[in-house]
């Protein structure tokens, strides 16, 4: 049953393979008159080495979609496959194993553990899985994120941007099949946010990391290879290689 | 994960320490108890081994009716001195020496008895010109007492009351106080005193004279001839002994003496351990609550760990590991704090009149093992529920703002579960209290577990009770405290589970305090009622300590006082009838003039008609042995003689305690059968009744009897109740430990709450709340929580008292309203004290930082 055992974590899917596949997802909260349909039939594929942005106004269902894709929430109907495994039927234990091997997270509020220093936070997913970190990989990440001199600092001693860089390194350390980023710049000023976006783009370019990023900021979305626009629980538009103007145009039609 | 748990613990030092305090105190109580009793046991053991060092065999007097002499305060009857010569003639005996042991008070320069702090005033004989081969005593200074006017006293008394060789000191043996010259100062078995007991040592003939034991002996020390083993010696001696003498090897005698003291110490040990148990039980509540709050506050952190691949099992383990580390740390601290507490407990006992000998502190392996094991285990068990709740934190909480712990699946059954637990607990207690045919251990176990389960059930129910209670009890706060008061009440109600758990810890301590105070008050009322119905005389004559039997000579001294019409005492001793030990009392014909009892058969005239072979018995005793007027009954005396008695009457004792034993005979017969008759109390009638002049005259007559005192009826009642009050105070002090622990629980909750509401407090400050108002808000919340504890604890305590009272057939049930009001006031004060630290922290918050706090 263990997903981890079947998969060689160092072997990445070939570029272009479908690594996340969602079919006809619906999600209903509550029941009766107060029921809310957050998703009303969403299907999508994410291919290896791709950076996909999910955009939409508040309440559009973009967060719900990401939670379901990442196995944090279950759809009311529909299926999600990650690296060929149907995840909506997995129990807690199986999901946990899947997360260890295939999923990385970057959060809006960083979610670092305050009592651990930079390096400990970064290698935490490996510590939890009982694995030894790849020293060279760790050094490269520290180098790339400019945290080499901050190895022994606690989160409280780091700036917001630095904290998010630690969080991204933490997500990359396991070389996950798919990395989910939830409003990664939502809690940062625009300059720092720009640096983070560069880092995210760079990790796709340099390491072929597959990323799904939820955002409501157009400048964040434009770094994506593909942008999915969501409104009222449905994917209403898809753009490839879009400019900021393109994005703003679509968004303005959505919110009106 | 281990590192995360440990680092997390280090990152929350204050919380960890506050959590640990509960366990530290409980474990300290346990380790302190063991250290104290072990130390005392070791001291006694050394003393007894030294005392019987050179003795191969010891012949001692024993009571024929008692299995174990240490169960009685009455001295065993002496055996004839002629036995000594017979023993000396035995082929295996090299040397044998007779001795006297008895009780004699030492009287100080102020004419008052020198207190032995509850220990008996020991008296021994020595042979001043012998080789002191058998003598357990050693001279510190001076010489052995010799001749009719010399005494040796113990070094403890000598140093405490500044006596030295050559000075004069008073002694009371059988008669009035006599002055002796101090010939020497002695130690016994290498220590200056046996638990504070005073010692008076006389030469052998003087001892025989003083204690009316001419021609009698209490003990013979024997040394065997070369080549004869102590066991052979004992076998040789045994056949020639009278019924009321026994022989043991020196080693066996030392062991027996040690065993006797140890069984007494075991009672003290268990008694104190019970309070340690209560403290730990309360501590478990505090820990469970603190961890629950901490877990709730770490929801996002735990969820993040889950998204990073932590399994539920890893989360569970990390919380339990945290508890384990806190528990171990706390237990080790408690273990060593126990060493200090042992000294404290000892001074506590000394101040309540129980002074026990101590030598080097004994820190046994058992103490270490038990303290560490119990402390750690309790912490981990208390952590189980919060730990399982932590595993239920879903990973999605990592991305949700203000995520809260999911409600337990069983939450909606909680009230029903609480009521079921309470019902089960009460049933278990009732079994323990009322069902016959269970061993005492099982009985106590059932009562203990039942009581614990009642507390648990009420704590579970408390969640439901908190909103209405807080609303009601918080009402004055809203009046007095304005906005701060209203917020405090709201805060107390907004997380009912948390307030309930915090208050429950205090509830336990208050319930137990209420239990003992209600029982004590019932006991006093019952006792007073019975004295009111019994006491017909004007004065009572008792020992100065209110309970020891005193010499008949003191009563006799009162008969000569002008105006005295009746002096009639009650003698008491042991006996055996129908194969069981009974209490035998002796009364004079005129006792009916000073004591009234109800007669089931016969009348007030019965005591006057006893004669030589008449007896009267209590109704219960008569019923259980099918006795009626005219029946005969055989009673065995401690000396081994059987008294053939005929029942002349049956009395119904008042419920607060009978003035007479199971079987009562005439003083004439009593004094003929019992070696050392003494009165437990004596009543006096005087013309004119209780007047200052009469009191003065009686006191003047008692000048030579400082061990006795005179009291009017109301004084007598008050004096007798002193014992209850002393015990009550001791229980209060011991229970205060669990109350202190629950206070730490309140401090804990408030500190964590302040921490949790940082942003909210910042907002309140930003909109104009002053620091004082913030502090007041926290203080009121604390008081409301404490009052909820009282509102739960006092009724639970009363219910427990009703059950226990029914079980021990208490006739009077009185609620000591005044005392309970004091408890409520104490709870309020406790709430104020508990709030000091958290309120100060809350008041100090930097508004800007608090608003930005995430």
Query: Which chain A residue has its CA at the smallest distance from B315's CA?
Result: A128
Cα separation of B34 and B460, whole Å?
Answer: 33
Q: Which of B205, B219, B222 lies closest to B128 in space, CA to CA?
A: B205
pLDDT tens-digit series, residues B181-239: 999 999 987 777 777 789 999 999 999 999 999 999 999 999 999 999 999 999 999 99
What tokens were used for B798?
A: 């009363």
Cβ-defined contact of A99 to B309 (cutoff 8 Å): yes
C-beta atoms surrounding A36 within 10 Å: 13
Residue B380 has pLDDT above 80, yes or no: yes
Q: How confident is the model at residue B536 (pLDDT cuts 50, 70, 90)?
A: confident
Q: What percent of chain A has pLDDT over 70?
A: 95
B686: left (phi over 0), alpha (psi -120 to 50) or beta: beta
CB of B282 closer than 8 Å to CB of B509: yes
Which residue among A72, A105, A111 sits closest to B300, beta carbon to beta carbon? A111
Q: Which of B100, B118, B121, B113 lies closest to B176 in space, CA to CA?
A: B113
The dihedral through the CA atoms of B819, B822, B827, B833 has a sign that is: negative
ipTM higher than threshold 0.85? yes
Rg of chain B taking only CA atoms, in angstroms:
33
Q: What angle is formed at CA B721 by the lines to CA B718 and CA B725, rounded to 5 degrees? A: 120
Q: Which of B652, B572, B555, B649 lies closest to B611 in space, CA to CA?
A: B649
Which residue among A105, A116, A129 sits closest to B307, beta carbon to beta carbon? A105
Cβ-defined contact of B305 to A109 (cutoff 8 Å): no
| Residue B410: per-residue pLDDT | 61
Cβ-defined contact of B398 to A111 (cutoff 8 Å): yes
Q: Which of B603, B580, B551, B598 lies closest to B663 in space, CA to CA?
A: B580
Cβ-defined contact of B309 to A125 (cutoff 8 Å): yes
* Residues from B in contact with A at Cβ < 8 Å: 1, 3-4, 7-8, 10-11, 300-301, 304-312, 314, 394-396, 398-399, 854
Cβ-defined contact of A96 to B306 (cutoff 8 Å): yes
Cβ neighbours of B294 in A, within 8 Å = none
Strand ranges inside B761-814, DSSP E: none
CB of A80 closer than 8 Å to CB of A20: yes
Residue B507 has pLDDT above 80, yes or no: yes
| Residue B64: per-residue pLDDT | 84
pLDDT tens-digit series, residues B142-163: 999 999 999 999 998 998 899 9
Helix (H, G, I), strand (E, B), or coil: what is residue A96? helix
Residue A10 has pLDDT above 50, yes or no: no
Helix (H, G, I), strand (E, B), or coil: what is residue B450? helix
A114 interface with B at CB cutoff 8 Å: yes
What's the gap in Å between the CA of A99 and the closest CA on chain B? 5
CB of B237 closer than 8 Å to CB of B60: no
| Residue B69: per-residue pLDDT | 65
Cβ-defined contact of A113 to B304 (cutoff 8 Å): yes
What's the gap in Å between the CA of A69 and the closest CA on chain B? 12
pLDDT tens-digit series, residues B440-470: 788 888 888 999 999 999 988 988 899 999 9
Burial of B207 (0-12, 13-18, 19+ CB in 10 A): buried
| Residue B359: per-residue pLDDT | 62
Full DSSP string of B11-37: HTHHHHHHHHHHHHHHHHHHHHHHHHH
CB of B578 closer than 8 Å to CB of B632: no
What's the gap in Å between the CA of A29 and the closest CA on chain B? 15
A47 interface with B at CB cutoff 8 Å: no
Query: Which chain B residue has its CA at the smallest distance from A100's CA?
Result: B309
Question: DSSP secondary-structure letter at B545?
Answer: T
Cα separation of A103 and A115, whole Å?
Answer: 24
Q: What is the pTM of this model?
A: 0.84
Which of B179-193, B387-401, B840-854 shows the lowest per-residue confidence on average (mean pLDDT)? B840-854
Which residue among A73, A115, A170 sits closest to B396, beta carbon to beta carbon? A73
Cβ-defined contact of B11 to A115 (cutoff 8 Å): yes
Cβ-defined contact of A96 to B854 (cutoff 8 Å): no
Query: Which chain B residue has its CA at the smallest distance from A187's CA?
Result: B854
The residues spanned by each domain of chain A are 17-108+177-255
Nearest-10 Cα torsion for A153, A158, A161, A162? -10
A92 interface with B at CB cutoff 8 Å: yes
Cα separation of A130 and B619, whole Å?
Answer: 78
Residue B431 CA, distance from chain mean position: 25
| Residue B405: per-residue pLDDT | 65
Give kind and range of the element (H or E) at residue A43.
strand A36-47
Cα separation of B12 and B738, whole Å?
Answer: 25
| Residue A4: per-residue pLDDT | 41
Cβ-defined contact of B3 to A120 (cutoff 8 Å): yes
Cα separation of B821 and B813, whole Å?
Answer: 18
What's the gap in Å between the CA of A195 and the closest CA on chain B? 22
| Residue B356: per-residue pLDDT | 64
A113 interface with B at CB cutoff 8 Å: yes
Q: What percent of chain B has pLDDT over 70?
A: 96
Give kind and range of the element (H or E) at residue B670.
helix B667-673
Buried b (16+ CB within 10 A) or exposed e, B364-403: eeebbebbbebbbebbbebbeebbbbbbebbbbbbbeeeb
**Which among A111, A123, A173 is the top mutation candidate for probing chain B, defined by the most B β-carbons within 10 Å of its own β-carbon?**
A111
Cβ neighbours of B310 in A, within 8 Å = 96, 128
Cα separation of B187 and B778, whole Å?
Answer: 60
Cβ neighbours of A111 in B, within 8 Å = 300-301, 304, 307, 398
Q: How confident is the model at residue A9 (pLDDT cuts 50, 70, 90)?
A: very low
How many beta-carbon pairs under 8 angstroms link A with B? 74
Q: Which of B427, B437, B276 lies closest to B341 in space, CA to CA?
A: B276
The CATH classification number of A17-108+177-255 equals 3.40.50.300
CB of B723 closer than 8 Å to CB of B546: yes
Q: How confident is the model at residue A7 (pLDDT cuts 50, 70, 90)?
A: very low
């Amino acid at each position: 049953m263990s997903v981890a055992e079947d998969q060689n974590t160092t072997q990445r899917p070939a570029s272009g393979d479908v690594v996340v596949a969602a079919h006809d997802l619906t999600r209903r909260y509550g029941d009766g008159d107060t029921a809310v349909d957050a998703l009303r039939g969403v299907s999508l594929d994410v291919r290896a080495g791709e950076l996909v942005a999910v955009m939409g106004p508040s309440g559009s269902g973009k967060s719900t979609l990401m939670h379901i894709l990442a196995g944090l929430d279950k759809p009311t109907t529909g299926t999600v496959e990650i690296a060929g495994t149907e995840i909506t039927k997995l129990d807690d234990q199986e999901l946990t194993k899947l997360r260890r091997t295939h999923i990385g997270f970057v959060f809006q509020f960083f979610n670092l553990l305050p009592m651990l220093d930079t390096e400990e936070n970064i290698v935490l997913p490996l510590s939890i899985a009982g694995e030894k970190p790849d020293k060279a990989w760790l050094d490269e990440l520290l180098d790339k994120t400019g945290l080499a001199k901050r190895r022994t600092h606690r989160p409280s001693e780091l700036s917001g941007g630095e904290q998010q860089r630690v969080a991204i390194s933490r997500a990359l350390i396991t070389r996950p099949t798919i990395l989910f980023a939830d409003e990664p710049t939502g809690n940062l000023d625009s300059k720092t946010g720009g640096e983070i976006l560069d880092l995210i783009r760079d990790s796709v370019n340099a390491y072929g990391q597959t990323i799904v990023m939820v955002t409501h900021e157009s400048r964040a979305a434009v770094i994506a290879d593909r942008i999915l626009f969501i409104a009222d629980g449905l994917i209403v538009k898809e753009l490839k290689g879009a400019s900021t103007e393109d994005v703003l145009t679509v968004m303005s039609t959505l919110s009106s | 994960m281990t590192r995360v748990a440990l680092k997390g613990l280090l990152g929350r030092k204050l919380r960890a320490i506050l959590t640990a305090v509960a366990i530290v105190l409980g474990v300290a109580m346990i380790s302190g108890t063991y250290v104290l009793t072990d130390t005392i046991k070791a001291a006694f053991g050394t003393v007894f081994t030294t005392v019987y060092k050179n003795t191969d065999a010891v012949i001692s007097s024993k009571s024929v009716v008692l299995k174990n002499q240490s169960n009685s305060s009455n001295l065993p009857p002496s055996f004839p001195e002629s036995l000594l010569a017979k023993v000396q003639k035995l082929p295996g005996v090299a040397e044998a020496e007779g001795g006297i042991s008895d009780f004699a008070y030492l009287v100080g320069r102020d004419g008052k008895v020198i207190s032995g702090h509850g220990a008996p005033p020991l008296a021994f004989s020595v042979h001043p010109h012998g080789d002191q081969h058998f003598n357990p005593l050693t001279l510190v200074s001076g010489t052995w007492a010799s001749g009719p006017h010399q005494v040796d006293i113990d070094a403890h008394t000598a140093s405490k009351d500044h006596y030295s060789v050559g000075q004069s000191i008073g002694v009371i043996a059988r008669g009035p106080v006599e002055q002796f010259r101090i010939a020497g100062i002695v130690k016994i078995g290498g220590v200056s005193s046996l638990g504070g007991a005073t010692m008076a040592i006389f030469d052998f003939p003087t001892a025989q004279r003083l204690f009316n034991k001419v021609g009698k002996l209490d003990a013979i020390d024997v040394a065997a001839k070369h080549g004869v083993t102590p066991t052979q010696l004992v076998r040789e001696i045994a056949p020639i002994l009278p019924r009321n003498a026994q022989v043991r090897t020196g080693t066996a005698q030392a062991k027996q003496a040690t065993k006797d003291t140890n069984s007494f110490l075991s009672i003290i040990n268990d008694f104190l351990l019970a309070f340690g148990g209560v403290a730990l039980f309360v501590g478990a509540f505090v820990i469970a609550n603190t961890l629950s709050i901490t877990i709730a506050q770490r929801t996002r952190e735990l969820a993040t760990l889950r998204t990073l691949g932590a399994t539920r099992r890893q989360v569970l383990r990390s919380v339990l590991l945290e508890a384990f580390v806190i528990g171990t740390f706390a237990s080790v601290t408690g273990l060593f704090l126990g060493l200090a507490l042992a000294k404290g407990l000892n001074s506590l006992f000394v101040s309540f009149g129980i002074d026990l000998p101590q030598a080097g502190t004994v820190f046994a392996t058992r103490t270490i093992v038990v303290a560490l094991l119990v402390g750690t285990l309790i912490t981990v068990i208390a952590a189980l529920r919060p730990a399982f709740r932590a595993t239920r934190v879903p990973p999605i909480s990592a991305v949700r703002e203000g995520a809260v712990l999911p409600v337990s699946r069983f939450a909606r059954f909680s009230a029903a579960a609480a009521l079921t637990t309470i019902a089960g607990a009460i049933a278990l207690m009732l079994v323990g209290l009322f069902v016959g045919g269970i061993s005492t251990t099982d009985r106590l176990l059932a009562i203990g577990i039942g009581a614990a389960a009642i507390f648990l059930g009420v704590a579970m129910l408390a969640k439901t009770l908190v909103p209405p209670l807080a609303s009601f009890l918080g009402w004055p706060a809203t009046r007095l405290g304005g906005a701060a008061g209203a917020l405090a009440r709201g805060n107390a109600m907004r997380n009912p589970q948390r307030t309930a758990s915090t208050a429950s810890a205090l509830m336990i301590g208050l319930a137990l305090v209420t239990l003992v105070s209600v029982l004590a008050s019932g006991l006093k009322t019952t006792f007073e009622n019975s004295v009111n119905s019994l006491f017909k005389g004007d004065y009572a004559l008792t020992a100065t300590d209110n309970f020891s039997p005193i010499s008949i000579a003191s009563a006799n001294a009162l008969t000569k006082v002008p105006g005295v019409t009746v002096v009639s005492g009650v003698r008491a001793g042991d006996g055996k009838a129908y194969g069981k030990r009974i209490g035998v009392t002796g009364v004079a014909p005129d006792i009916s003039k000073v004591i009234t009892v109800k007669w089931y058969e016969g009348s007030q005239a019965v005591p006057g008609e006893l004669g030589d072979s008449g007896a009267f018995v209590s109704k219960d005793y008569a019923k259980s042995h099918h006795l009626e007027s005219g029946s005969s009954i055989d009673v065995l005396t401690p000396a081994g003689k059987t008294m053939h008695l005929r029942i002349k009457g049956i009395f119904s004792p008042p419920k607060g305690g009978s003035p007479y034993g199971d079987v009562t005979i005439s003083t004439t017969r009593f004094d003929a059968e019992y070696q050392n008759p003494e009165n437990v109390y004596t009543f006096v009638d005087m013309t004119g009744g209780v007047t200052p002049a009469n009191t003065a005259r009686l006191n003047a007559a008692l000048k030579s009897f400082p061990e006795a005192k005179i009291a009017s009826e109301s004084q007598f009642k008050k004096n007798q109740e002193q014992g209850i009050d002393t015990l009550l105070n001791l229980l209060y002090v011991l229970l205060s430990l669990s109350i202190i622990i629950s206070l730490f629980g309140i401090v804990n909750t408030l500190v964590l709450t302040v921490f949790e509401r940082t942003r909210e407090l910042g907002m309140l400050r930003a909109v104009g709340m002053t620091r004082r108002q913030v502090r007041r808000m926290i203080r009121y919340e604390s008081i409301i929580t404490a009052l909820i504890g009282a509102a739960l604890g006092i009724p639970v305590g009363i219910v427990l008292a009703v059950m226990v009272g029914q079980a021990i057939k208490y006739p009077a049930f009185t609620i000591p309203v005044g005392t309970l009001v004091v408890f409520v006031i104490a709870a309020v004060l406790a709430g104020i004290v508990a709030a000091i630290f958290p309120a100060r922290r809350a008041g100090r918050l930097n508004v800007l930082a608090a608003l930005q706090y995430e």
